[in-house]
Structure formats: C-alpha cells, structure tokens
Structure 1
Amino acid sequence: MQLKISILIFLFYHGFSLSQSYFPPAHEPWTKKSPEEFGLKINALNKAIEFAKTNEFSGERDLRVAILKGFAKEPYHQILGPTKKRGGPAGIILKNGYQIASWGDTHRVDMTFSVTKSYLSTIAGLAVDQGLINTDDITVNSIWDTTFDGAHNQQITWKHLLNQSSDWSGTLWGSHDWADRPPQEGSIDDWKNRNYHTPGTHFEYNDVRVNVLAYSLLQVWRKPLPQVLKEKIMDPIGATNTWRWYGYNNSWVELDGNYMQSVSGGGHSGGGIFINTEDHARFGLLFLNEGNWNG
C-alpha cells in the first residue's frame, strides 16, 4: 500500500533515512532489535534516554490546571474542550523502523497539544491531493459564510492559514484572535485596534487562526476531520483505535443536515489529538518515508 501525500506541515522531520526495511504490522507488538545491530553506541543512547526521562515538563500533571496557569495572562481564556492528566515521560527510538529503545508507558494515551498541527496539516495535504483545495486560492471562495468577512480577511489564502501568516482577524468559538498570546505592551483596546499585516508578510503563532484552518477544512471535506484522518491515514498505517481528536463544547456545526464537531489544532483551550507514543511513531514513520507505508 502506498500513501502519496502533499505534505504541508508545521513540524518538519529531519535527518531521516529512506532505507526503511520494517513497518510494524497492525495489532502486533513492535519488533525490537538491539542498538548494537546497527552499530550504535549504547552508552550515548542511554545518556539521551536518561536526559529525556529527567527533563519532563515541569508543570502540573493535571493539564487542566497547567493550561489555565500557562495562559492566565490571556484575556477571557477558558477551557472549552477535554483535558487529561498526563503520565510520565515516554518515548521510542526507532532505527529503520525497528524499535531499539523505549521508556515509560508507550501505550498510554495523552494530550499532545501543538503536535496536533501536524495531523491537521496532513488533512490539508490530502485535500490538495484530492483537488478539494489549491493552496494559492483565496479561502473565502470556498468558505463563503461570515468567517472571512472584511477586506482584510478576504485576501487570505489556504497557504497563509497553513504557514501562520494570515493575520486573520475575528472571533471563533468565543475566542478572539487578538487575545491569543497578546503582546506584553499595551492594553486590550490597543490589541483590539491593532494595525493588520498584509496576509503572507508576517508570521504569528496563533491557535485561534489554526482553528480557523480546521473549521475551513471541515467545510471542504464536509465530514468530521477525525473520520478523514482515520480512513486515510491511521487505519492504513495500523494505528490503534485508542487515539481521539477533540474540538470544543461549542464548536459543533451543521453540515448537510448532520451535526459535526470542528476540531482544534492543539490543547490551548483543551481538545486536540489525544494519542499514545506508538501511534505517534507510526505517523512519524509515514513522514520519514515521504508518505509511503510499506509500498
């Protein structure tokens, strides 16, 4: 089976080898090999693992509390989607697809925050492959409701949404674009009445705008994005059925007579991808092999 994907991702994977020799089958334990079989230095590998185990996130394991504390300076910030208490550090090291080391509970499902953006942008890549969108097209041509109202927003293309240079202005699911990581200087009135950057000229990391991308992709796919991900990616690569992709309690929309949830692109206000380490690793292998899974 071969999956050819136009990859439009926020997180890029470097230093990969195309000499992939093993792809883990679905519903079977991951085949393990020793680091020595690949000529790797076991002492150096163990040091890297120990570093990962002793340098976990320093905040609360109750991620609802951690999120509220982390974004306490944002006006009107609130939890709108599910959260989950996190486990301890966990990880896998792969070589040519084989598992050569692991630590922690690699089957535990946890929140993954902005790693969700890699999954979301994969959905965008699939939309390009299927001719649903062209990244240079003006988004308002496809999403003609009020989402892209106004002279500024009507300049935004799919590419601008994907590379976080849209400077989209508005409110989505009760969250304001200007309230997401506001500047340290100025007041709420200053942030609300800022000068706009021409789309494509200024990068700004903004989760409200990522959620605009998720909503826009829902409109063109016309079915829930987790369903698209499951059918097009996760089932073909043999992922488990334990992963979930959530939106917010107020992000439900009606399409073609059916209610669907518009998912979030991270855990800023809860939601996003909840997944275990091994399913993450399968997704990573797909990208390391340029969209080709055992084909």
Structure 2
Amino acid sequence: MRTTINKIETLTFLILFIVASIGCNSKNKDKESIKNTQRVTSQNVLSAVIDSINSEINDGDYGLIDRFMVIQNDELLADYKYEQDYETIVQKYDTTNHQYNFNNTDWHPYYKKSELHTLQSVTKSITSILLGIALDLNGDYNVSNKAMPLLTGYDIDFLDKRKQNISIEDLLTMRSGLQWNEETDHNDNTNDSFLLESSDNWIAYVLSKPMDTIPGTRFVYNGGGTVLLGKIVRTITGKRIDDWAEEKLFKPLGITDYYWKETPDGEIDTEGGLYLKAEDLAKIGSLFLNNGKWNDNQIVSESWVTTSTSPQIKDVKPEWRSNMGYGYQWWIPEYTFDGKTSIYAGNGYGGQYLMIAPEYNLIIVFNGWNINDEPEKSTWRVLQDRIIPTLKNK
C-alpha cells in the first residue's frame, strides 16, 4: 500500500513540476517576447528619424559629412557613406603638403586616399583609455601622481612652484593651470595648438608654458596636456603609445588598420593624430558600453570607464550649452542633477563624433570635415535633439 502511495506522490510531484516548468518557460518566453517587441518598436521609431537625418545630410544641411552610423543593442541600424569631392573643394585653399595643413587632401580628412579618417580630438578620448589601461596594469601609479617626475629629460622652469603640483588627473580634466590659448581659429598664430604643431619638440613646448592658475582649479581646453599624457604612458609602460595601443587595445578589438601621426621629436600626436575607420571607432563605443569588456575580456577596468565618462567638472562650456560636463578626456553633453551621465562623447575638429547613450544602449558615429564653412545644422546636436527625444516619445 505504501509503495502505491509513494508512486502516486512521485507522479503527482512530477506532474506539478512539469506544469510549473511550462509556466516558467511560458513566462520567460513572454518576457523575451516583450523585450523583442520593445526592441523592434524602438528600431522602427528610430528608422524614421534616421531616414530624415540622412535625407538632410544629402541635401547639404549638415555640410560635409563622410559617414553616419547608428548602432543600438549591438545591431547596426544605419551606416551611410557620403562621397565628397575634397580635391575640388580645397582648390581655393593652401594645400601645402604638410600633415597639419587641414586642407591637404593627402592628410585630411582621409589618410592617403584610404578609408582611415582623421579623428582629431577624439584621439584624446582614446589616449585616456590607453592611460587607463597603463594605470590598471601598473599599481605603482594612479591619477594622483604628480606629472613632472614622469616627464624627465626636459629643461623645465620650476621657478613657479605650481608647475610641480600638476597631477595626472589635472591633465586628464584640462585643469593643469598652464597658460594656454586654444579658443581662437586654429590658423591664428597666437593659438597654442597652431604653435605646438609648428614646433620641433612638442613636449618641450608644452612644458615651457608659464602657469596662470593653481592646478586643479580651472578648466582650460588644452591639447598640450594630452601630449604630456601620451609621454606619461610611455614612462609608465616603457612603450611608445602607438605600440601600447597595438598590444593592449587595437589587437584585442580586432583593429588592424590605423595610422598615428608622429611628431618631429619622435613621439606620437596623442591630442589629434589618430586615424581609424568609422566601424573601428564604433568598436571603442561598444567597449565602453560594455564597461570595458570585449568578448568577455576586461580590456580596461570598469572603474576607469565609469570615472572617465562621469562629469568630473560641470558646466565647463556654458556658452555652448548649460549642463555640459567633462570627464577624463570625454565630453559629457548631458547628465542628471545628481551627476549621472546620460550621454558622453568624443568630440573632434571638423565633425568627428563618437556619441554614447548608455540608457538606450546606443552608439552614434559621425565623420565629417566642416572646417571652412559653418553648416546650417550640427551633427553634434543630432543625438540630443533628434534621436533621444524620438526614443523618449515612442
């Protein structure tokens, strides 16, 4: 009798278990179905606004655009290439064959007729990643370290003691305290970026600049500081930053085609000299969306990604837009009242943008070359003014 009861109890349990499992599977399938529906709805809504932006680019509203990509949830939603006749466009400008003449078509916007596009100051954001990897792997250094002991071999004037107090973090956040003018036209011969790129020794040029404020107190956009960061990477790792990038960033991400400008003193132009294909720039965005992971490999620490893309400084460019922040060589176009990042971006001269909206798992890439004329509309505003409002109202 007990054996029969045990069999019945066992059978009842199995039936209940199967029913429960079916119910769970059904619920899981329902949840997955809802997610898929939401994803498709989001993409359908995006499709219309993407088509509109593409049409406006073709109509010339955004000036000279070379590439427009949209990636959401690891899916490529748009990838438009635009052909521009730069050879004809630049005929009225000086085209001296020099890598820092921005109207020379051997160098800009593409490198030597290849698909490698100048990134300009998006290079700074990638320099920051490479520094982050170096600090992750070398526990003797951190962002609080003073910069000058890592920049030996140069004739540095230390009469102003403030220069000795510049930290790595001060350089990362553009608060070095060095006197620097990068706000005027790039061809203005008082512009420090112009003077830097005309000099024979870039690091010596930056280090020769006098101090005008206490380090860590005031934001002044300064590409020279990023040049120093590139040298600091070399000091920490023992490798020039292009070799370090190849080993620790590009090779793991499968980036095989790239170009760096080399400075006259044998260093690398880390403030604006990197060329990548747009699809490889998008890989950098994907790396950061995944908190520094690529194929389950932690390339750069999650903490570095979070800190780099958080507003270490708020309202840095109120004349551009209120609520504009700056992290570790990343712009923060939008953040919440409590400092949580809504959008972060690499931003480069001429219209090079890598824009990331974590909440929407969204990456936008733009390449362009608007250096001589101001277009009617700015691609810098596309994510904030066109795409995100569309997603919010879907």
Same fold (TM over 0.5): yes
In 2, the alpha carbon distance for the partners of 1:105 and 1:233 equals: 29
Shift of 1:193: 9.6
**Residue 220 of structure 1: aligned partner:** 236
> Higher relative contact order at CA 8 Å, sep ≥6: structure 1 or structure 2?
1
Shift of 1:238: 1.7
**Residue 290 of structure 2: aligned partner:** 289
1:92 matched to 2:92? The reply is no
Taking the TM superposition and a 5 Å limit, the aligned residue runs for 1:99-248 are: 99-104=76-81, 108-131=115-138, 133-146=141-154, 149-150=157-158, 151-168=161-178, 179-180=191-192, 196-239=212-255, 241-248=256-263
Unaligned runs of 5+ in 1: 1-34, 59-87, 171-177, 183-191, 253-261
1:40 pairs with one of 23, 37, 44: 44
- Asked if structure 2 preserves the Cα contact closer than 8 Å seen for 1:120 and 1:265, the reply is yes
**Residues 157, 281 of structure 1: CA spacing in aligned structure 2 closer, same or farther, 3 A cutoff?**
same
**Residues 139, 90 of structure 1: CA spacing in aligned structure 2 closer, same or farther, 3 A cutoff?**
same
SS state at 1:101 partner = strand
In 2, the alpha carbon distance for the partners of 1:199 and 1:112 equals: 28
**Residues 265, 99 of structure 1: CA spacing in aligned structure 2 closer, same or farther, 3 A cutoff?**
same
**Residues 219, 194 of structure 1: CA spacing in aligned structure 2 closer, same or farther, 3 A cutoff?**
closer
- Asked if structure 2 preserves the Cα contact closer than 8 Å seen for 1:156 and 1:168, the reply is no
Moved more, 89-98 or 215-224: 215-224
Shift of 1:286: 0.3
Higher Cα radius of gyration: 2
Shift of 1:39: 4.1
In 1, the alpha carbon distance for the partners of 2:251 and 2:258 equals: 11
**Residues 147, 199 of structure 1: CA spacing in aligned structure 2 closer, same or farther, 3 A cutoff?**
farther
In 1, the alpha carbon distance for the partners of 2:165 and 2:293 equals: 35
**Residues 193, 278 of structure 1: CA spacing in aligned structure 2 closer, same or farther, 3 A cutoff?**
closer
- TM-score of the superposed pair, with normalisation by structure 1: 0.60
In 2, the alpha carbon distance for the partners of 1:125 and 1:36 equals: 36
In 1, the alpha carbon distance for the partners of 2:230 and 2:153 equals: 15
**Residues 194, 233 of structure 1: CA spacing in aligned structure 2 closer, same or farther, 3 A cutoff?**
closer
Q: Which is richer in helix?
A: 2
- TM-score of the superposed pair, with normalisation by structure 2: 0.46
SS state at 2:291 partner = coil
Shift of 1:50: 3.1
Map Cα deviations across residues 168-191 of structure 1 (whole Å, 9 max, x no partner).
Answer: 369xxxxxxx84269xxxxxxxxx
- Asked if structure 2 preserves the Cα contact closer than 8 Å seen for 1:234 and 1:283, the reply is no
SS state at 1:200 partner = coil
- Aligned pairs, how many? 201
